[in-house]
């Protein structure tokens, strides 16, 4: 393994994986090296440019901590997250489609009963969200676990507010025997993804905006069904066709209906989820 040049280096590295006991790891590494080397060749990558790439990836890593996941942002803004979701969550016609998880899902969301206010003090215009969870055959799914999280009127998730003592605009509910759920919250607003790190610099260098259209996140689990990670997007949002993370699907867009009463304006949102059977 001497005197390697641009024609022989790729095969030499791949041969080094020959003894890898895990066949899937071997396949992933082999493909990764093949594509990385092809990328360098096709781009005619200079050493200075690759150093810049290493500097950028280092900055992405240094931006990560328990509250901030810059690598997820990078994957999301490069469309890799949407590609992985689309490849791994094909849903038959009639099922609710999946979309990206995003970096703001955290463990430990508080539990709520039907009708309670998951906003828990988050600023925003009141909104009532209601719907059902059903199986693909139309059967109501009782006791399905619904986790919801969203940005508030200022476009912030609770985890982006330092010092907040309790979770806001985030909660867990369970459907009733008829598969129904309803909860109060505040209207979700469009927001820019965190752009003060290296991913933000990449967006600016490529003249892309950091905005996501207004949405609620849902993670739904029901026994015997594939778990579903998805959003409901707000009809009419100006960013529906230029989502910074490529997550919008037409079937996930719904209307937030305004109502004006003696206590001012509030909204209702109705959305029904349809779950795909888990493979047995
Ligand atoms: C989100 O919707 O929470 C999100 C998704 C991808 C990147 C940033 C935020
Ligand atoms: Fe979000």
For residue 103, how many other CB atoms are within 10 A of its CB? 22
- Give pLDDT, residue 44: 98
* The pLDDT of residue 32 is above 90: yes
3-class secondary structure, 205: helix
In terms of residue numbers, what domain contains 17?
A: 9-45
Whole-model pTM above 0.85? yes
Contact at 8 Å (CB) between 150 and 191? Answer: no
User: Is residue 236 domain-shared with residue 201, that is, in the same domain?
Assistant: yes
pLDDT digits (tens, 9 = 90+) for 116-141: 999 999 999 999 999 999 999 999 99
User: Is residue 81 domain-shared with residue 181, that is, in the same domain?
Assistant: yes
- Give pLDDT, residue 62: 98
User: Is residue 79 domain-shared with residue 41, that is, in the same domain?
Assistant: no
Return the percentage of the chain with pLDDT > 90, whole number: 96
- 51 in any annotated domain: no
pLDDT digits (tens, 9 = 90+) for 83-113: 999 999 999 999 999 999 999 999 999 999 9
CA 24 – CA 17 distance, rounded (Å): 11
User: Is residue 115 domain-shared with residue 38, that is, in the same domain?
Assistant: no
- 58 in any annotated domain: no
Number of domains comprising the chain: 2
For residue 233, how many other CB atoms are within 10 A of its CB? 26
- Binding site membership of 85 for ligand 1 (Cβ less than 6 Å): no
User: Is residue 137 domain-shared with residue 269, that is, in the same domain?
Assistant: yes
* The pLDDT of residue 280 is above 90: no
- Give pLDDT, residue 51: 98
Bridge partners (DSSP) of residue 191 are 212
Question: Which token pair is 217?
Answer: 């996140």
* Ligand 1 atom closest to residue 231's alpha carbon, by position in its atom list: 2
User: Is residue 30 domain-shared with residue 135, that is, in the same domain?
Assistant: no
Closest CA to ligand 1's atom 6: 102
Show Cβ contacts of residue 101 under 8 Å, excluding neighbours closer than 6 positions.
72, 81, 217, 219, 229
- 239 in any annotated domain: yes
* Ligand 1 atom closest to residue 151's alpha carbon, by position in its atom list: 3
- Binding site membership of 243 for ligand 1 (Cβ less than 6 Å): no
User: Is residue 116 domain-shared with residue 249, that is, in the same domain?
Assistant: yes
Residue whose C-alpha is closest to residue 218's, from 208, 204, 233: 233
Question: Which token pair is 31?
Answer: 């493909």
- 37 in any annotated domain: yes
* The pLDDT of residue 256 is above 90: yes
Show Cβ contacts of residue 272 under 8 Å, excluding neighbours closer than 6 positions.
131, 132, 133, 134
- Give pLDDT, residue 244: 98
* The pLDDT of residue 207 is above 90: yes
- Binding site membership of 210 for ligand 1 (Cβ less than 6 Å): no
- Give pLDDT, residue 110: 97
Q: What are phi and psi of 29, to 5 degrees?
A: -65, -40
User: Is residue 191 domain-shared with residue 238, that is, in the same domain?
Assistant: yes
Strands of 72-202 (E only): list them: 126-135, 145-150, 170-174, 180-186, 191-192
Q: What is the mean pLDDT of residues 3-27?
A: 97
């Amino acid at each position: 393994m001497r005197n390697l040049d641009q024609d022989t280096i790729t095969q030499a590295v791949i041969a080094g994986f020959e003894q890898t006991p895990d066949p899937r790891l071997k396949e992933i590494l082999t493909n990764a090296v093949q594509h990385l080397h092809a990328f360098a060749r096709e781009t005619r990558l200079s050493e200075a440019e690759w150093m810049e790439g290493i500097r950028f990836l280092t900055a992405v890593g240094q931006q990560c901590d328990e509250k901030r996941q810059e690598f997820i942002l990078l994957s999301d803004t490069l469309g890799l997250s949407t590609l992985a979701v689309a490849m791994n969550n094909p849903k038959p016609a009639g099922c609710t489609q999946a979309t990206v998880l995003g970096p703001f899902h955290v463990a430990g969301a508080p539990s709520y009963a039907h009708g309670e206010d998951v906003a828990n003090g988050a600023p925003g215009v009141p909104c009532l969200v209601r719907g059902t969870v059903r199986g693909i055959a139309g059967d109501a799914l009782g006791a399905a676990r619904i986790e919801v999280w969203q940005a508030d009127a200022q476009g912030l998730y609770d985890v982006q507010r330092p010092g907040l003592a309790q979770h806001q605009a985030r909660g867990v509910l369970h459907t009733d025997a008829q598969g129904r759920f309803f909860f109060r919250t505040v209207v979700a607003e469009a927001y820019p993804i965190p752009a003060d790190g290296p991913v933000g610099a990449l967006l600016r260098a490529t003249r892309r905006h950091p905005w996501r259209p207004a949405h609620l996140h849902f993670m739904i689990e029901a026994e015997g069904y594939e778990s579903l990670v998805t959003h409901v997007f707000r009809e009419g949002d100006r960013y529906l066709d230029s989502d910074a993370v490529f997550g919008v699907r037409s079937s996930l867009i719904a209307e937030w209906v305004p109502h004006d009463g003696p206590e001012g304006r509030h909204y209702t949102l109705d959305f029904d989820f349809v779950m795909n059977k888990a493979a047995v």
